[in-house]
Structure 1
Amino acid sequence: MLKVYNTYTLTKETFNPITSGHIKMYVCGPTVYNYIHLGNARSAIAFDTIRRYLIYRGYQVDYVSNFTDLGDKVIQQAQKEGLTEAQLAHKYEAAFDQDTAKLNILPATVRSKATEVMPEIISFVADLLEKGYAYAVEGDVYFRAQKFPNYGILSHQDLNEMEENAAGRLDDQEALRKEDPIDFALWKGEHRPGVQAWPSPWGPGRPGWHIECSVMIDKYLGSAIDIHGGGIDLAFPHHTNEIAQSETHSGEEFVRYWLHNGFVNVNQEKMSKSLGNFTTVHELLAQYSDAQALRFLLTKTHYRRPINYSDTTLDQAQIELDRIRRAYRRLAKRVAVESVKDEADATVEEQLKSIKANFINAMDDDFNTENGLAVVFELVTLINQYADQGSLQLATAQHLLDALKTLMSIFGIDNLGQKESLNQEEQELLDARAQARLVKDFAASDQLRDELLALGVVVRDTAQGQEWEKK
């Protein structure tokens, strides 16, 4: 039985979607003013993995996410790069699509831009004004936060402390416009020349940060959804404000389960531009040849726990992923080249059945990828043991391969049969060693093996011939 940790209640709860077999899921996307960083990628990968597992468990998943393609960050970066706001947003939307495709993140069912839902945003804000939960001042519109019951419960913070913190961040003009420091902007007036603005009943301007997600959810998924995801840093104020405005608008519970992923640290330090450890995924993918190893690193830690990124942790992820790939290739090679019986091995089939059940038990515990992958490695061991047997049963061998492929696809890892490549020098040494063994020149064979090892290629002799892997 699937259980999920709900940030709203701070407990694991049995998962019961609003509509049986059908899940409505929304995950906050990036502001498209630059390439995505590791934190953005971690969130996208975490919720892509959750989505894939839900599909594996038989659910239909409607998955909506957004691009914030307006606001101060977009304005400032567009001016810096000499582009219009629309041109800048388009540039980094395309980069997001390219980078997430390399990371094998499934496209959203709907990927909406803030600028595409402007009429709905204006209508939504007007409704909040009509209900008395919002007020307009000099072209801005603010939400009366304390009028909403239990405001701030999602982040489990003291309301008075939140109010003091909010007051400390206000400039003098904003402090004069707001009735209460904790009130948040639904609409911001905009009169600067050359800056994008939209007409509204309150004058030209653009939406506040929080309103776009509420509007997109209402438009594409309805007034109530099953899962809302994002980084833990979004619990307050972003998701807190979404709850207040959405439930005021609809009069019903907004989200059944709030799921939040943990941070990414770099070399044990919080990722920050000021510390000089801020890394974009675009840069990493250009430097590192195996994008799926990066995906694997960001997947194998439970989504609520922080991840430590470093060259060492990425190398370790590569080693673990290559171990899985090698097991798949070994068994697939034997199936392809040998005459195997088209039968099933009852003992191994029973072991495989147990492994599949254990995998579901692990992942049903709040999508625990760490425990789920521990079960995958049990399957890898079973596959290696089966590949070493003198004779194979085709049905069982194929079931083992299919199971590994299916389980790894939940983690976004495909192409398990893809072999690592050797350069020309390495291939020539490997071929020479095979020839040396053929003529039983074992001294030459051992020397060539040592030369390959010095180049980072480990060679093993098996009943099926030479097998190699990169260190």
Structure 2
Amino acid sequence: MHAWPASEVPALTGQGRDLRIHDTATGGLVTLDPGPVARIYVCGITPYDATHMGHAATYNAFDLVQRVWLDTKRQVHYVQNVTDVDDPLLERAVRDGIDWVGLAEKETALFREDMTALRMLPPKQYIGAVEAIPGIVPLVERLRDAGAAYELEGDVYFSVESDPNFGQVSHLDAAAMRLLSAERGGDPDRPGKKNPLDPMLWMAAREGEPSWDGGSLGRGRPGWHIECVAIALEYLGMGFDVQGGGSDLVFPHHEMGASHAQALTGEFPMAKAYVHAGMVALDGEKMSKSKGNLVFVSALRRDGVDPAAIRLALLAHHYRDNWEWTDQVLADAVERLGRWRAAVSRPDGPSADALVEELREALTNDLDAPAALAAVDRWAVLQSERGGTDEGAPGVVSRAVDALLGVAL
């Protein structure tokens, strides 16, 4: 599976700083010090509907992570998956009377278009669950043969008790885990499981559903968590720098994935930091496909909204915050984009050297994008009210905003 084209990231003078970011597993800020190549895995979409603002906010957060790292002159190895076979996708295809493969391909293509328009940097590997199956099967077999997994009526489950570090990502109690498991794709009430929290690794073939050769596992398809584990381990290995996604993935997805990987390798932790973006709401409720309360990036683009304004609307909120999308949020972003473009369109202006350092300081402090926007706002006000004599300043601002915030002026 191919990703989307990369937009050019301008090189800035000076040196970026190491990123301090909130780690869900420890509950506090950690300073990341990757090697020459920073490694990040971000969980991708289940492609049964177009990119909504909740998706866009999540991928914007991890795009900022990449831009901070690139500013330190590091390379970035970014991997993302596509869950192109899963119950929600199959259910949507049945509901609409269409082929599930065609639905997944159409929505994945639209997602690529949205990411390109928003200037999100693409992953080096963009891997679908279906194409990952040949690498998933051996991992499930290894877990089963090591006693970390067991069969139940043809299905294969992971035993959470096989990982002594289970629970170290979310730090939830058993009752909370069981509740979230039931809400987010698990089956804690299924009879015969060793532990209600045990997640499925391999689902035996069901009538009328797609299935693949699973070797000694029999025909079936992979569980949700093992998909990401197989892809992450193949391309990044254990101990990569950031595991990212929305806050709704903390449990069960990231908790279970960490335990799968740790049971497979005997190493801990799977990732140095678990980083999670907040949820975006509409009309008082979390924006989600199941509720249908969605604002689509593609719909805004069709209505003529500049993608740079959409990106500024996302950047106006701290990535960890839960916030609500409103018409005013978008209007404010459109107005800000106009002010910034007017400010950099002049032939000279106030010196921008301090602004570049302000942007770096804000973003390396747990991706404080609102503080970064405020810094550019202050420069634009100076430009509007007093101007300046630095002929290079508007270009410096344009390049810095592009490089660090992904907004083309």
- Residue 153 of structure 1 and its aligned partner are, at CA, apart by 2.5
Identity across matched positions, percent: 33
Superposition TM-score, scaled by structure 1 size: 0.77
Correspondence list, 1:222-301, <5 A: 222-252=237-267, 253-271=269-287, 277-301=293-317
Aligned to 2:211: 197
For the 8 Å contact 2:180–2:252, the answer to whether it is kept is: no
- Residue 385 of structure 1 and its aligned partner are, at CA, apart by 5.3
The match for 1:410 among 401, 404, 407 is 404
Partners of 1:42 and 1:316 in 2: how far apart?
Answer: 17
Aligned to 1:340: none
Equivalences, count = 390
Aligned to 1:139: 154
Partner secondary structure for residue 317 of structure 2? coil
Partner secondary structure for residue 217 of structure 2? coil
Partners of 2:393 and 2:187 in 1: how far apart?
Answer: 68
- Residue 86 of structure 1 and its aligned partner are, at CA, apart by 1.9
- Residue 145 of structure 1 and its aligned partner are, at CA, apart by 0.9
Aligned to 1:441: none
Question: Which amino acid is 1:356 matched to?
Answer: V
Aligned to 1:108: 123
Partner secondary structure for residue 191 of structure 2? helix
Aligned to 2:145: 130
Specify whether residues 410 and 267 from structure 1 end up closer, same or farther in structure 2 by C-alpha distance, changes over 3 A only. Answer: farther
Aligned to 2:342: 326
For the 8 Å contact 2:243–2:271, the answer to whether it is kept is: yes
Higher helix content, 1 or 2: 1
Partner secondary structure for residue 66 of structure 1? strand
Specify whether residues 359 and 173 from structure 1 end up closer, same or farther in structure 2 by C-alpha distance, changes over 3 A only. Answer: closer
Q: Deviations over 1:394-420 (max 9, x none)?
A: xx3124422333224422211x2xxxx
Question: Which amino acid is 2:27 matched to?
Answer: L
Aligned to 1:439: none
For the 8 Å contact 1:8–1:257, the answer to whether it is kept is: yes
Partners of 1:23 and 1:248 in 2: how far apart?
Answer: 24
Partners of 1:25 and 1:247 in 2: how far apart?
Answer: 17
Specify whether residues 62 and 169 from structure 1 end up closer, same or farther in structure 2 by C-alpha distance, changes over 3 A only. Answer: closer
Partner secondary structure for residue 318 of structure 2? coil
Specify whether residues 83 and 168 from structure 1 end up closer, same or farther in structure 2 by C-alpha distance, changes over 3 A only. Answer: closer
Aligned to 2:356: 356
- Residue 276 of structure 1 and its aligned partner are, at CA, apart by 6.1
The match for 1:27 among 42, 53, 77 is 42
- Residue 150 of structure 1 and its aligned partner are, at CA, apart by 3.3
Aligned to 1:179: 194
Aligned to 1:449: none
For the 8 Å contact 1:191–1:204, the answer to whether it is kept is: no
Aligned to 2:5: none
Partners of 1:274 and 1:174 in 2: how far apart?
Answer: 22
Aligned to 1:158: 173
For the 8 Å contact 2:42–2:243, the answer to whether it is kept is: yes
Aligned to 1:375: 375
Partners of 1:207 and 1:76 in 2: how far apart?
Answer: 17
Aligned to 1:10: 27
User: Which structure ranks higher in relative contact order (CA pairs < 8 Å, sequence separation ≥ 6)?
Assistant: 2
- Residue 175 of structure 1 and its aligned partner are, at CA, apart by 1.8
- Runs of at least 5 residues in structure 1 that lack an aligned partner in the other structure: 336-344, 417-471
For the 8 Å contact 1:170–1:181, the answer to whether it is kept is: no
Partners of 2:145 and 2:242 in 1: how far apart?
Answer: 29
Partner secondary structure for residue 392 of structure 2? helix
The match for 2:329 among 300, 303, 313 is 313
- Provide the aligned C-alpha RMSD in A: 2.5
Question: Which amino acid is 2:23 matched to?
Answer: N
- Residue 61 of structure 1 and its aligned partner are, at CA, apart by 0.7
Partners of 2:185 and 2:276 in 1: how far apart?
Answer: 28
Q: Deviations over 1:413-438 (max 9, x none)?
A: 11x2xxxxxxxxxxxxxxxxxxxxxx
- Residue 39 of structure 1 and its aligned partner are, at CA, apart by 1.1
- Residue 161 of structure 1 and its aligned partner are, at CA, apart by 4.4
Partners of 2:60 and 2:316 in 1: how far apart?
Answer: 10
For the 8 Å contact 2:80–2:126, the answer to whether it is kept is: yes
Partners of 2:181 and 2:277 in 1: how far apart?
Answer: 25
Question: Which amino acid is 1:300 matched to?
Answer: A
- Runs of at least 5 residues in structure 2 that lack an aligned partner in the other structure: 1-17
Aligned to 2:9: none
Aligned to 2:67: 52
Question: Which amino acid is 2:243 matched to?
Answer: H
Q: Deviations over 1:310-330 (max 9, x none)?
A: 11111011111111111011x
The match for 1:88 among 90, 103, 125 is 103
